[in-house]
Structure 1
Amino acid sequence: MLIQMKVNDFLEELASNSPAPGGGSISALAGSLGGALAAMVCRLTIGNSKYAEVQSEVEAILTEADQLRGELARCVDADTEAFNKVMDAYKLPKATDEEKAARSKAIQQAMQHAANLPLGVAESSLKVLKLAGRVLSIGNSNAASDAAVAGLMAHAGLHGALYNVKINLGSIKDEAYITATQAKVKEIIEQDNKLHAELLATAAKVIG
């Protein structure tokens, strides 16, 4: 599993001429790193008497951040698996009309799965961005830069994932699916624009 690899080994695999892992897995990793950093800031806040008034809220943020970190970490491998399924579908036989039809169906199913997975990564990364912005605002000010970086990682992971959604849509023939997915992408981007701007504004106020 990619997520179990040592960092140096993972980087070597990423830099190789193998097409996977690629941008999708890295987007999931970025979101997961954001969740981990947000959780760290929460843990550096909880138990500090200076932040006693917000402890219950920070505890709730911690629970969600840990959950999202785990979900996104699992997507590091799941994204590569989704890519491999697409490649396997393209390798199916196509000598007869029946084989061609089965192959085409398998490709379309694999492509939709390969688009759905990064869409989920984007949605989870958006949640991490929101949590990071909040903990930046109310959490331990000594870890403010960590909270800001958490938000930036989530923001990067979100947009990276959406690039993967969009590129997969180019190979999908189901117009209804394309329209619905494009609408979700637009909604995610609109929310990200708002939360990212708020994160930068809070960082400027808290950090300078």
Structure 2
Amino acid sequence: MLIEKTVSGFIEELASNSPAPGGGSAAALAGSLGAALSIMVCNFTEGKPKFSGVQDEISQIKQKGLALKNDLTDYIDADTNAFDEVMKAYKLPKDTDAEKTLRSEKIQEATIGASLPPLKVAESCVEVLKLSLRVLTIGNPNTACDAAVSGVTAYAGFQGAIFNVKINLSSIKDETFLQNVRDKILVLQDEADKTNQLILDRAREVIG
């Protein structure tokens, strides 16, 4: 599993000539790093008398952050596994008409499946962005930089995930599925862009 590799091992795997892991797994990793940084801010805020007024909310943010971190970590491998299924489908025999039909069906099925992990990553990254903004606003100001990096890292993960969704959509023929995903992308993109801008504005106020 990719997640069991060392940091340097994962980076080397990304840099290799293997098609997977690739951008989708990297996007999931970016999102999980963003979540981890928001949790870090919570840990430096939790239990501090100076921030007694926000303890309940910080505790809730921390729990949400932990769940998101775990989900995004799982998607690192899920994205690569889904891509592998697409590759398997393309390798199916195509000598007869029946084989060609089955191969085409399996490719469509696998490609739809491959679009789902990055879509989930994008959704999770939007949630991380919300947590980043909040901890940047109410968290320990000594960790403001970490909160800001949480946000920009999650936004990078979001953008990367969306690219990976879109590249799969170009090969999918199911129009209902395509429209549903495209509609969802528009909503997510708007929410991510607005939250990211608020994070950047707040970071400039707090950090300079």
TM bin, normalised by shorter chain, reads over 0.9
Any stretches of 5+ residues in structure 1 without a counterpart?
A: none
- 1:9 CA drift (Å): 1.1
Structure 1 match to 2:141: 141
- 1:8 CA drift (Å): 1.0
Aligned amino acid, residue 90 of structure 1: Y
Any stretches of 5+ residues in structure 2 without a counterpart?
A: none
> Does the alignment pair 1:10 with 2:10?
yes
- 1:44 CA drift (Å): 0.6
- 1:61 CA drift (Å): 0.1
Structure 2 match to 1:57: 57
Structure 2 match to 1:84: 84
> Does the alignment pair 1:153 with 2:172?
no
> Does the alignment pair 1:117 with 2:81?
no
Provide the C-alpha distance between the structure 2 equivalents of 1:32 and 1:136, rounded to a whole number of angstroms.
17
- 1:11 CA drift (Å): 1.1
Query: Aligned pairs, how many?
Result: 208
Q: What's the CA shift string for 1:138-191, capped at 9, x where partnerless? A: 000000000000011110000000000001001001111111111111110000
> Does the alignment pair 1:178 with 2:186?
no
Instruction: Find the residue that maps to 2:47 and give its secondary structure.
Output: coil
Provide the C-alpha distance between the structure 1 equivalents of 2:44 and 2:101, rounded to a whole number of angstroms.
57
Question: What TM-score does the superposition give when structure 1 sets the normalisation length?
Answer: 0.99
Aligned amino acid, residue 73 of structure 1: T
**Which aligned segments of 4 or more residues in structure 1 are displaced greater than 2 angstroms?**
none
Provide the C-alpha distance between the structure 2 equivalents of 1:9 and 1:190, rounded to a whole number of angstroms.
35
Provide the C-alpha distance between the structure 1 equivalents of 2:99 and 2:186, rounded to a whole number of angstroms.
37
Provide the C-alpha distance between the structure 2 equivalents of 1:113 and 1:10, rounded to a whole number of angstroms.
24
